[in-house]
Each structure stands twice: as structure tokens, then as C-alpha cells.
Structure 1
Amino acid sequence: MRFAELEHADVAVWGYGREGCAALAALRARAPGKPLTLYCLPAEAADARAAFVGGVTVIDVPPDADALARHGVVVKSPGISAYRPEIAAAAARGTRFTSGTALWFGERPDARVIAVTGTKGKSTTTALIAHLARSLGVRTALAGNIGMPLLELLEAQAALWVVELSSFQTREAGPLELGVVTSLYEEHLDWHGSRERYVADKLALADAARTLLVNAAQPRLLELTAAHPRRRTFGDADGWHVAGGAIRRAAEAVLPLAELPLPGAHNAANACAALAALELLDLDARAAAPALRSFRALPHRLQRLGERDGIAWINDSISTTPQAALAALQSLEGRAVTLIVGGHDRGLDWSEFVARMRERPPLALICQGASGARIADELERAGVAVAARCADLADAVAQAHALTPPGGCVLLSPGAPSFDQFRDYAARGRRFAELAGFDGAAITGIEGLGVA
């Protein structure tokens, strides 16, 4: 959909997060006098009315099907599930639903785009691609789900657009040169409604991508994407992969893993994905590889906060699946680790995590939050000791401090979303830092967003 299609329509924006604000600003810029309606939360209404004075009617109650059906077009924020019954009912009555992502792709059909998705690894891989492309002198935009809505850059110019798309956004992408899928597990089942629909939505990126790059280490992902006519892989011995303590291009050792400033095998795989993506766009990946040394890790992703009382504290609040918690724990192999897991309960399957804990448990396991009791029950049924069950993060941190000896580390890698206690994973990570005795406000945002 393009902005021109909204000119004579009754338009509403649903959601007042950063995506909703970007949509309102873009609509006001393209059609200054056009009346608009905003649906937002009660706590957001005063700020919205102050920010968009005149021409925007702010409604601070959730719209039902009748309210939505009064509009010709609704620009929906990504966090609002496309499968809500009121959306289906309004769509049946003629309301069209779109998003900031879809509007950007509609306006920029000729942009050279790499779009990255994946259950885990998508943000780091997206940022790595942009960092490496810039090291080659390519004017590159970094945007999307990583922290800057595409509509904030609607008028910007770049030679290459590197865009992160969540599973909420993949169906909204227009034609693009390269799609990258880093991994595929189950997540966001509350938004998608089922595991099957989550997988289908995630892999909708393949329909938009002229070339598709996927992780060779994931058999299920390979199976599901086998029909794509231009599918390529990373992580196999003929291409960019990790072996013998180095990142390699086939047999050639290009960069020792010791020089990669990102911990864990999963981050080495993310680096391989980024290098393979550049190569598929006919950029010199080998020349870019040394720039991996200067990449700065994204916050809340195995972020080393420092030491207190001889204990190292590591913030991996971005971990929202059991597989992510396992990857984080694996990156600290050989250390005495107290692991904090649990949070908002989306009904994810913890059986693989439990099996791994039976084989190689950490020093101590602490289960907290809304899903903590269920995780603890599964662990104990399998014979895995749980050091503490905690109602919230504050109690979990206090228990971790008491249980961890000097020289050990406390790892927050919850394997679950934050919404039982916090608005998002970043708020959870900042609070973890504060509870551990660090400055939560000092945890910076993602570097490099925008065009550079």
C-alpha cells in the first residue's frame, strides 16, 4: 500500500509506540490537513494529544470491530496481532489494514534491501551486516524492528537498506533483493495463535526475497525452504562457516574466533550469516571481515555488566526462548554459572532445555516470574535440582548473589518474554543491572541506527 491510497480514506493509527508515532508523523507530513484517529492506551493519551495537536482524535480505549469498521484504513502497530477477531470482523466489512513497514516498502520499491528475520540472532546479524557494509564504504541504512521504524527514514537515501523484520512484519515486506533467516524455533505463540502459523508467518519472507539465505545448521529450516529457487546457505563447509577456531570461507581461515568480540558459537554463526549476505550482494566479504573486530555487541545480549563482590554479572535479557538460554549458557562453558530463567508464560516447550540441564547443569538454577513454577516443576520431575523459586526478578537476583561464589557469574538469560513484570526486555535488563549494583541508565541503545 502507498500513501496515495490513503489520501481520500478515513485513516486510523492503532498503537502509540515508536511505530505508531512514526506512522502519525509520516501521515501528517504527507497530508498535513488530513483528519486522523489514534487508538492508544489510557496512559499514553495525554502525551499523544500534546505531541499531535490538531487534526488527530485520540481515543484511549481499545477499538472493537465496530470502531475499526468505521475507518477505511487502519495503520496497525506490529505488536497488535493480525489474528485478533475484531480485525477479521472489520476486514470482512471492508476496512483495510496496513503498517508502517508495508507503507515504506510501497514507497520505496527500488530500494536495495537485505531483510533479516529469525527466532534468535536477527538483531545482531542485521547490525553486523550494516557494520560490515559501512566498513566497505557503502552508504547503509540500519532500521526496522532493531529499534528504528522504517517510516522514520522515509525520506532518507541509502545505497543499501539493512532491515530487521520480526515475525509480526514479514508478511508486510515488499520485493527485496535478499532475505536472511538466522534460525527457526517457536516463539510469539500468543500473537500467532499456533506454532504452525508462527512458522508460516516467519517464512513469508521467502516469498518477498529474490535470494534467500538460511542457516545450514538447522535441518527443519532447510526442509521448509527447499523449494525456494534461489536459496543459499551459511554455516556449511563450502561457504562461510566456523571450524578449527576460525571463521572460514570454505577451507580458508579468515578470522580467528579469539578476535571476534562476541561470545558464543551462535554469535560466530551470526557473523558467518553477515559475511555470506555481503557476498551474495557482490560485496567483498573477505575485505570486510577484519571489521568484525570493531563491532560492539548490542545491549541486553550477553552484555557483561562488570563485577560486584567478585561475581561477574551478565545481562542476556533479550533471551526469550529456551534455546536462547541454552546458547547463552553454552557461551560460558567452564565457568561457575548461576542461571536465572523464567518470565511471561507463553506456553513454550522447555523439554530440550530440561534434557540439556540433566546432562550438564549450571552451578545453580533459579526460576522466577510467571513461568518460573512451571519450568521448575519440569526440571525437578526430570531430576534436575532447582536452587530457588522466586516470584520476581528482585528476589531472583538476591538469591543469585547469595548462591554464587567469588569467581562465578550470574547470568540472566530468561528464555521467556518480560511482560509479566516489565514492558519489554530492555526494561528488564536495566532493572537487572540496577539490582546487581550497576547503573541501569548507562546501558546504551543500539549504535548505528539510521543512515551512515
Structure 2
Amino acid sequence: MRIADLAGKRVAVWGFGREGRAAITAIRARLPQLSLTLFCSEGEVSSAGVFDATLQVRGEEPDAIALSAFDVVVKSPGISAYKPALLAASEAGVRITSGTSLWFAERPDARVVAVTGTKGKSTTTALIAHLARSLGVRTALAGNIGMPMLELLDAQADLWAIELSSFQTGEAGPVELGVITSLYEEHLDWHGSRERYLEDKLKLAQVSRTLLVNATQPSLLEKTAVHPRRILFGQTEGWHVARGFIRRGAKAVFDVSRLQAPGEHNALNACAALESLEAMGFDALAAAPSLGSFRPLPHRLQPLGAQGGHEWINDSISTTPQATLAALVSLPGRTVTVIVGGHDRGLDWSDFVAAMQQHAPHLIIAQGTNGPRIAKALREAGVTALRETSSLDAAVALAREQAPPGSTVLLSPGAPSFDQFHDYAERGRHFAELAGFDSHAIVGIEGLGVA
């Protein structure tokens, strides 16, 4: 469905975050006379009226009856496609679409590399854009990474590097290259089950002309084996990491120690980006030296610096136990106090617990809603380097008191932020403030848009 197809129809937009505002703006630009209804929270009603005085604003979560009064509902990604009201409205004939779907319908000829994955998708997408631009390719960086695609509806680019969350993979149109960086369980409250989350992530494979996947994940290889044009990164025949270098086959191309983003998982993200460029017909070997100028994205193993005799690292984007494990592995030889816990989505922490039995850091501080559950599992497994607090504020205070001088304090929660914060970025900024840093210095992701 294109925006022009909305003409003459009863249309509602559900959600007034950045995606919702982008949808309203794009629809208004194409169909200025179209009547639009917005469903948003009560607290957003006044700001929505200021944003667009012609909107019919309803400060409520719509039920199936309310939605059935419309021909089309444009929903934001954070609103689960499996909400009973949406399912019932769809059954009643209401067309459910999104900003992602509208963009793909409007731009069918765009050269798109779409990236998803439980972890690594933002860094990989940003790396693709960074490396492509180093070759002089006019590249757009957009999607779930922080800029809705509809904000760039009329922009021109030779390559589109787009991040898609699991909320968006089922809404994408055909793409030249799809990339899956990793696959673990996450967002179970949105998808309803682990199986559905995996199914939704893998929907990207169905619309990808060529599919690039992580060769180091056996389960991912198994689930994508039937794709007719599947290629791999992380294997010795192509781009992979071995003996301290990013390599192209047997050729050592880039010293991993020169990456500003620490950890082997980030080196593997670089391999995914290089393999993506190669698959799209660009000179990946020529682009590889520019890996050294790529700066880590905020809240992703972001070194904040030294304060109070400790080094502080902000990994607030970590919302799965696997991400926390990867963060710990990326800090070899350091004495680490790690803060874990947050909003409880029912994720399985057994792999984390097993790893802590073998190689626990100096101290684990469990906090937040699922902190007690994590702490209980660790205690039952015999992990003793453990403390428990109710909040991030208390956890940082305890870390400052318990961490030895010269050691590292790592925020890598392995859980979402919604128990205490609006999102992971707010959590990361608050952590920085608690540690004694200027949170305003944590800027947004560089390079969004077209360059």
C-alpha cells in the first residue's frame, strides 16, 4: 500500500513517538486534505494538537470497536502486531500498515541492505554506512537505529543501510540484501512467545534476494539453510576473525586492536559489514582501513572514562543475558563489577548463570524488577560474588563502594529499562550522571540520514 492509496479512506495513526510523527508528516505531505485520527496516550494529547492542529486526537488505547471505525490503521513499531484489538480489527477488514511498509511501497527501486538480529544490528548497520561512505558512496542510514525511514521519504541515496527490529521485519518489502547478525530470544512480551519472535526475525529472509547470516551460530545456519542465495560471514572462506585480525580468507586485513569498539563480537560485526559491501558489489578491501575511524555507538560498550578511581563503561543497550556475556568477554584481564537487571521479560538466564559459575567477574550487582530472580539463580548455582539492590541508583552507589581502585564498573543489564526508565538511552545517561559524567556529552548516533 502506497500513501496515495489512503486517499478517500478513513485513516488512523496509532502511536505518537518519532515513528508516528514521521507517518503523520509523510501522509500530510502527499495527502494534505486527508482527515487523520491519532491514538496516543493522555499525556501526549496537547503536544499532538500543537504538532498538527488538524488531527483528531484521542488520548486512549483503542479497542477493536474503535479501530473498526477505520479503513486503515498506521501503527508504530512498538505496538505489538499481536494485540487482540489489532487482530480483531484486521479480521473485520481493517488494513493494518506501518511507516516501514509505506516506505518500502514508495521506494521499490532503492538499493537496500536491511540488517536485523538480536544483537549487533545497530553497529553493523552503522558500519555499513560508514564504510560505504569511505568509498564515496552516497549512503542513507535509517530505520530502527534512530531515524524513521519516512523522514527520508524523498531523499536520494545510492545505498540504503536500514536497521529493522523484530517489530519491523514482517513489514519490509523486497530488499537486495538481508543481514541477520545473531538470533536469541528477546521481546517476548511483544511477540508473545520465543517461537514467534524467531519466526518474525526470520521474515527478513523471505524478502531478501540475497541473505547474509552469521556462520558462528549453528541454530541460525539451520533455520536459514533453505534460502536459495545464502552467504555467510564469520567463516574462514570469507570475512572472519582469527588470531587478532579481521581476515578475508587467509589474508590478514585489519588488526582488531585498532577497533575503537571493543570485543570480538564487534570485530564480527565489522566482518558482517565488509561482507555486506562485497555482496552489494563494492570494494570491501578498500573500505576496510576505515574501520579504524568508526566510533562506538552510544550506550553500546561505551567507555565513559575514569571517575573516582574507577573506569566506567555504559552498555545500557544490553537487553539480553547473551549481550551481557559478550560485554564481559570483551574486557579480558580487567577487574570488573557488572550491574545487571531491569524490566523482567521472562528471558532465560541459565547460560549467563552457567558462565558465571566458571568465570565470574569481581562482583555482580543485580538490580531492577528481575534482579531478585537473577540473584536467586546465581546463588543457587553457588556464585558468591553477588550483591542485590532495588534500583540503578543504589547499584551504582554500591559499585563505587565495592569496586577496587583502578577497576572497571560496567553497566550491562541484560534486560530492558522499562521498570525504571523510558528507554535504554535514558538509563545510560542516568548511569553516566550517577558515575559523575556529563550525560549531555552522550550524543545521538552519528551519521543518521544521507551522506
TM-score by length of 1: 0.99
* 1:428 match: 427
Moved more, 407-416 or 377-386: 377-386
In the alignment, the residues of structure 1 paired with residue 177 and residue 46 of structure 2 have an alpha-carbon distance, to the nearest angstrom, of: 41
* 2:15 match: 15
Q: Partner letter of residue 70 of structure 2? A: H
> Per-residue displacement from partner, 1:77-134 (whole Å, max 9, x unpaired)?
0000000111111111111100000000000001000000000000000000000000
In the alignment, the residues of structure 1 paired with residue 390 and residue 59 of structure 2 have an alpha-carbon distance, to the nearest angstrom, of: 31
In the alignment, the residues of structure 1 paired with residue 253 and residue 390 of structure 2 have an alpha-carbon distance, to the nearest angstrom, of: 47
In the alignment, the residues of structure 2 paired with residue 391 and residue 40 of structure 1 have an alpha-carbon distance, to the nearest angstrom, of: 31
Q: Partner letter of residue 211 of structure 1? A: T
Q: Partner letter of residue 172 of structure 1? A: E
Q: Partner letter of residue 290 of structure 2? A: A
* 2:191 match: 192
1:7 to partner: Cα distance: 0.7
In the alignment, the residues of structure 1 paired with residue 253 and residue 87 of structure 2 have an alpha-carbon distance, to the nearest angstrom, of: 51
Is 1:41 aligned to residue 47 of structure 2? no
Q: Percent identity?
A: 67
Checking the alignment, whether the CA contact within 8 Å between 2:71 and 2:94 is kept in structure 1 is yes
* 2:108 match: 109
Q: Partner letter of residue 210 of structure 1? A: R
Moved more, 434-443 or 424-433: 434-443
Q: Partner letter of residue 38 of structure 1? A: L
Checking the alignment, whether the CA contact within 8 Å between 2:338 and 2:409 is kept in structure 1 is yes
In the alignment, the residues of structure 1 paired with residue 385 and residue 8 of structure 2 have an alpha-carbon distance, to the nearest angstrom, of: 60
What SS does the corresponding residue of 2:311 show, helix, strand or coil? strand
* 1:365 match: 364
Checking the alignment, whether the CA contact within 8 Å between 2:321 and 2:415 is kept in structure 1 is yes
In the alignment, the residues of structure 2 paired with residue 363 and residue 21 of structure 1 have an alpha-carbon distance, to the nearest angstrom, of: 45
Checking the alignment, whether the CA contact within 8 Å between 2:375 and 2:386 is kept in structure 1 is no
> Per-residue displacement from partner, 1:241-296 (whole Å, max 9, x unpaired)?
01111000000000111111110010000000000000001100000000001111
In the alignment, the residues of structure 2 paired with residue 147 and residue 172 of structure 1 have an alpha-carbon distance, to the nearest angstrom, of: 17
In the alignment, the residues of structure 1 paired with residue 201 and residue 23 of structure 2 have an alpha-carbon distance, to the nearest angstrom, of: 23
* 1:418 match: 417
CA RMSD of aligned residues (A): 0.6
- Pairwise mapping of residues 11-410 of structure 1 onto structure 2 (< 5 A)? 11-54=11-54, 56-410=55-409
Q: Partner letter of residue 339 of structure 1? A: V
Q: Partner letter of residue 180 of structure 2? A: V
What SS does the corresponding residue of 1:184 show, helix, strand or coil? coil
TM-score by length of 2: 0.99
> Per-residue displacement from partner, 1:171-215 (whole Å, max 9, x unpaired)?
111011000000000000000001110000000000110000000
Checking the alignment, whether the CA contact within 8 Å between 1:129 and 1:274 is kept in structure 2 is yes
Q: Partner letter of residue 284 of structure 2? A: A
Checking the alignment, whether the CA contact within 8 Å between 1:69 and 1:95 is kept in structure 2 is yes
Q: Partner letter of residue 44 of structure 1? A: E
1:5 to partner: Cα distance: 1.4
Is 1:450 aligned to residue 446 of structure 2? no
1:386 to partner: Cα distance: 4.6
In structure 1, the gaps of 5 or more residues are none
1:44 to partner: Cα distance: 1.1
1:33 to partner: Cα distance: 1.4
In the alignment, the residues of structure 2 paired with residue 442 and residue 284 of structure 1 have an alpha-carbon distance, to the nearest angstrom, of: 35
1:387 to partner: Cα distance: 2.9
In the alignment, the residues of structure 2 paired with residue 63 and residue 309 of structure 1 have an alpha-carbon distance, to the nearest angstrom, of: 49
Checking the alignment, whether the CA contact within 8 Å between 1:102 and 1:174 is kept in structure 2 is yes
> Per-residue displacement from partner, 1:218-252 (whole Å, max 9, x unpaired)?
00000000000000000000000011110000000
Q: Partner letter of residue 48 of structure 2? A: A
In the alignment, the residues of structure 1 paired with residue 450 and residue 235 of structure 2 have an alpha-carbon distance, to the nearest angstrom, of: 32
In the alignment, the residues of structure 2 paired with residue 425 and residue 260 of structure 1 have an alpha-carbon distance, to the nearest angstrom, of: 24
> Per-residue displacement from partner, 1:317-358 (whole Å, max 9, x unpaired)?
000000000000011111110000000000000000000000
What SS does the corresponding residue of 1:12 show, helix, strand or coil? strand
What SS does the corresponding residue of 2:272 show, helix, strand or coil? helix
What SS does the corresponding residue of 1:126 show, helix, strand or coil? helix
In the alignment, the residues of structure 2 paired with residue 259 and residue 396 of structure 1 have an alpha-carbon distance, to the nearest angstrom, of: 32
Q: Partner letter of residue 169 of structure 1? A: Q
1:68 to partner: Cα distance: 0.4
